[in-house]
A and B are shown apart, each in its own frame.
Chain A
Amino acid sequence: MWQRLRRASFWLGMYTAMVMAFIIYLPILLLIVFSFNDSKIMSLPWNGFTLRWYRIAFSREDLLHALFNSLWVAAVVTAVSLVLGIMAANGMAKYRYRGRSLFTGYIAIPVVMPWLLLGISLLLFFNVIKVPLSLFTVILSHISFDVPLVAVIVAARLHQFDPTLEEAARDLGAGPIETFRLVTLPIIAPAIVAAGIFAFSWSFDAFVVTHFVIGSQVTFPIWVWSALRYPKNLPVINAVSSIIVVVEILIVYLGERLRRGEGGGVLRSND
């Protein structure tokens, strides 16, 4: 994102920044500010600072349960998607063979598929093969869009990867797996970290697809959606959302630092 800004002309950059400030960052800032407002409705006047909503949020079993579900679903989905996605990226970027572009399209298309379509087709599919809806079907569904996401991000990096580096490693006595571990992996690590962050947050945020395939279980977005029907829940939702926003900003910031480091400091591999 920042790189792209740098490339665009200064004024275009300023303009974009202002628009973003108004339509993205201002609302988020308001959300956070109002989560500390001692009032049941989210509007002025300011009734004084309170941590009440946070206390309530952390005492609500249903909310904590949903949050916990979302976290571990996202963790499993991210782990599986990274492994499968990196393998797919290898196939997309590294080897030349007949039908490579077909394979690339085949892998990448789910990334741009509308959520609604994906949700409906997954629901039909699980019905046809008679798999009961649960968190398990949620995990499968999230994997179906996170694998292509990871593959696309990692393949972009692999395209720039100099294959003679792997040949040099082999030449110096490293086997294929060692070569991947000691040379390929550290060099594409920044892309993998970025892919992991995206994969995790896509899974964590997924509402539409999840809604179709979750059955009677609850994840955080599903909980928010159902809680929204009762206005008294609003301040609590506000509080939890604020925490999540801050955590996500932190993660993106750390990921960006890793990426900037280009593996020079943090990702040194010595053995």
Chain B
Amino acid sequence: MTIREGLQHGKENGLAVEHLVKRFGPLVAVDDVSFSVAPGEFFSLLGPSGSGKTTTLRIIGGLTVPDEGEVYLGGERITYWPPEKRDVNIVFQNYALFPHLTVFENVAFGPRRRGWPERKIREEVTRFLKMVHLEGYEGKYPRQLSGGEKQRVALIRALIMHPKVLLLDEPLGALDLKIRQELQLELIRIQEEVGITFIYVTHDQGEALTMADRIAVMNRGKILQIGDPKTIYEQPVNRFVAHFIGNTNFFEGQVVKVEGGMALVDVPGLAQIWGVPVGEVRAGLPASVSVRPEKMYISRHPPKGGSFNVLQGIVEDMIYTGVSTEFIVRLPTGQQVRVFAQNISKDAEIWKITWDEKVWVYWRPDRSLVFVE
């Protein structure tokens, strides 16, 4: 499906935004943002602080009016509809629970506005509280809840409305790691259970990679890349995306030549490195080569045969994490590189490596990418 077809499809069935622009004075908070989300999809907006994620979400929810562009939902143009008319609900970054209402009345707030009969409200609120393991919390006030509990109430308060699209603004941002991971799994389960489209804003790339069907990476108001987690991770379209997603080693240098679909980069004082060119890579341009730590080998001996990019260095640190070991290797230029090695067998040659030892790190050329910017 081309992007154009995708947008067309989103416009007719799911959600689509086209060429959204929002300015605050001289600042362009959202800069020509377009994407479409299919019904039932778990879509993530990922980007660093201030990249325009919340603003984009608010435009979709109707809390901010865009300066340019359109929002479509289920075939209708809803750009200027007020929030209460949209079949879209938001889980706010700071929860925004009503402090003067009980948990029950918070969750029942939306249904009451819709005029559901009292019995149905009671049944549904109970069902949703159960879904997030909050039975018995009906009469409590928000100030009596923990962060994780508030988060769950905020989630079902929006979910109970059965919106076409649920917008979640860093819903787990304020929670500590353990509850975060718990709730991540719970969110995925709930999303599959209710089958509602999720647009999930986060600045945590790990969260986006594990949870989302597709990710849009944003920076400075622009969308840099949209794709499934694997594509975003394996084929980042530029240096920013490669840097922002996962761990990456970068080598800065100059393109020597491009031939046979590969680019050769000269890294001063180090080596000449082959990699897959991304974008307009031409000889003479300054370039960065990126390679992920888990795609590199580390050994006490140079590689025998095969074509590899090879570097030599000294082991500066080793961090054992159970499933793998992370080696920090210092290169002659002073630069450090990180190499992950899986703990396949405790007898392997690799475990003889110790601190301050001279090692070789190497990787297949098609595992590194060359960016020019």
Chain A interfacial positions (CB closer than 8 Å to B): 162, 164-165, 167-175, 178, 182-183, 186-187, 262-264, 267-271
- Whether the Cβ atoms of B105 and A168 lie closer than 8 Å is no
Q: How far is the CB of B166 from chain A (nearest CB, A)?
A: 11
> Which partner residue on chain B sits nearest A271 by CB separation?
B112
> Which partner residue on chain B sits nearest A173 by CB separation?
B113
* Other A-B pairs beyond A164-B94, A171-B62, 12, CB < 8 Å: A168-B97, A169-B98, A170-B82, A171-B63, A171-B90, A172-B109, A174-B84, A175-B84, A178-B113, A262-B99, A269-B100, A271-B112
**Residues of B contacting A178 with CB < 8 Å?**
113
A173 to B84, CA, bound (A): 4
**Residues of A contacting B94 with CB < 8 Å?**
162, 164
**Residues of A contacting B63 with CB < 8 Å?**
167, 170-171
Chain B interfacial positions (CB closer than 8 Å to A): 61-63, 82-84, 88-90, 92, 94, 96-101, 105, 109-110, 112-114, 141, 157-158, 161
- Whether the Cβ atoms of A171 and B100 lie closer than 8 Å is no
What 5 A-B pairs have minimum CB-CB distances, sorted nearest first?
A173-B113, A172-B110, A168-B96, A263-B100, A170-B83
**Residues of A contacting B114 with CB < 8 Å?**
173
A178 to B98, CA, bound (A): 14
Q: Which of B89, B94, B96, B105 has the most CB of A within 10 A?
A: B96
Q: Which of A162, A165, A171 contacts B84 (CB 8 A)?
A: A171
- Whether the Cβ atoms of A186 and B100 lie closer than 8 Å is yes
**Residues of B contacting A174 with CB < 8 Å?**
84, 109, 113
Q: How far is the CB of B103 from chain A (nearest CB, A)?
A: 13
A123 to B82, CA, bound (A): 48
**Residues of B contacting A186 with CB < 8 Å?**
100
- Whether the Cβ atoms of B84 and A183 lie closer than 8 Å is no
A162 to B89, CA, bound (A): 19
Q: How far is the CB of A177 from chain B (nearest CB, A)?
A: 11
- Whether the Cβ atoms of B89 and A171 lie closer than 8 Å is yes
> Which partner residue on chain A sits nearest B160 by CB separation?
A172
Q: Which of A165, A182, A263, A270 contacts B96 (CB 8 A)?
A: A165
A262 to B61, CA, bound (A): 30
- Whether the Cβ atoms of B100 and A168 lie closer than 8 Å is no
A65 to B112, CA, bound (A): 49
A187 to B100, CA, bound (A): 7
- Whether the Cβ atoms of B98 and A183 lie closer than 8 Å is yes
A186 to B141, CA, bound (A): 14
**Residues of A contacting B157 with CB < 8 Å?**
172
Q: How far is the CB of A260 from chain B (nearest CB, A)?
A: 14
Query: Given known contacts A173-B114, A271-B112, is B98 in contact with A165 (CB within 8 Å)?
Result: yes
- Whether the Cβ atoms of A264 and B84 lie closer than 8 Å is no
Q: How far is the CB of B55 from chain A (nearest CB, A)?
A: 13
Sample 14 A-B pairs with CB under 8 A, ordered by A number: A162-B96, A165-B98, A168-B92, A171-B62, A171-B83, A171-B89, A172-B109, A173-B110, A174-B84, A174-B109, A175-B82, A178-B113, A183-B98, A271-B112
> Which partner residue on chain A sits nearest B109 by CB separation?
A172
A181 to B165, CA, bound (A): 27
A201 to B61, CA, bound (A): 45
Q: How far is the CB of B62 from chain A (nearest CB, A)?
A: 8
Q: How far is the CB of B150 from chain A (nearest CB, A)?
A: 13
A13 to B149, CA, bound (A): 40
Q: Which of B82, B84, B96, B113 contacts A164 (CB 8 A)?
A: B96
> Which partner residue on chain A sits nearest B113 by CB separation?
A173
**Residues of A contacting B97 with CB < 8 Å?**
168
- Whether the Cβ atoms of B92 and A164 lie closer than 8 Å is yes
**Residues of B contacting A268 with CB < 8 Å?**
100-101
Q: Which of A168, A173, A182, A262 has the most CB of B within 10 A?
A: A168
Q: How far is the CB of B317 from chain A (nearest CB, A)?
A: 44
Q: How far is the CB of A14 from chain B (nearest CB, A)?
A: 32
Q: How far is the CB of B113 from chain A (nearest CB, A)?
A: 4
- Whether the Cβ atoms of A167 and B83 lie closer than 8 Å is yes
> Which partner residue on chain A sits nearest B86 by CB separation?
A171
> Which partner residue on chain B sits nearest A163 by CB separation?
B96
- Whether the Cβ atoms of B110 and A267 lie closer than 8 Å is no
Q: How far is the CB of B245 from chain A (nearest CB, A)?
A: 30
Q: How far is the CB of B202 from chain A (nearest CB, A)?
A: 18
- Whether the Cβ atoms of B161 and A173 lie closer than 8 Å is yes
**Residues of B contacting A264 with CB < 8 Å?**
100, 141
A162 to B97, CA, bound (A): 10
**Residues of A contacting B109 with CB < 8 Å?**
169, 172, 174, 182
> Which partner residue on chain A sits nearest B169 by CB separation?
A164
**Residues of B contacting A270 with CB < 8 Å?**
105
**Residues of A contacting B112 with CB < 8 Å?**
271
A263 to B143, CA, bound (A): 13
**Residues of A contacting B96 with CB < 8 Å?**
162, 164-165, 167-168
A162 to B114, CA, bound (A): 24
Q: Which of B62, B98, B100, B158 contacts A267 (CB 8 A)?
A: B100
- Whether the Cβ atoms of B61 and A168 lie closer than 8 Å is no
A258 to B89, CA, bound (A): 34
> Which partner residue on chain B sits nearest A172 by CB separation?
B110
Q: How far is the CB of A194 from chain B (nearest CB, A)?
A: 16
**Residues of B contacting A164 with CB < 8 Å?**
92, 94, 96
> Which partner residue on chain B sits nearest A170 by CB separation?
B83
A187 to B98, CA, bound (A): 9
**Residues of A contacting B110 with CB < 8 Å?**
172-173
**Residues of A contacting B98 with CB < 8 Å?**
165, 168-169, 183, 187
